[in-house]
Amino acid sequence: MAKAAPDGYTVLLTATGVAINQSLSASPGFAIADLIPVLVPTLSTTTLAINPDNPARTLAEFITAHKSGGFTFGTAGIGSAAHITAEYLFKTLAG
């Protein structure tokens, strides 16, 4: 798609795959800068849910309680938007 003629007949409808591919390959064949967004038709939200028996009632409480012991989380799969969000949230933002 990035190499198609700019004649208005080729359009890309994608999710996180375009951004993820940039980090998976040294030479993905295109750069994000080669693409021009024209529409965001939907927004994808992510929900963090815990067992109601867990005493944490806020994200900060959850992170504090599990910082030293760790925890297990589930997502739609490796490379999914929820997986990338969780990795970023817990590893980068929460440390």
Q: Can you give the pLDDT at residue 9?
A: 87
As a whole number, mean pLDDT of residues 57-72 equals 88
Q: Is 74 left (phi over 0), alpha (psi -120 to 50) or beta?
A: beta
Torsion angle defined by CA atoms of residues 77, 26, 7 and 42, in that order, rounded to the nearest 10 degrees: 30
pLDDT band at 77 (very low <50, low <70, confident <90, very high): confident
The yes-or-no verdict on residue 59 having pLDDT over 80 is yes
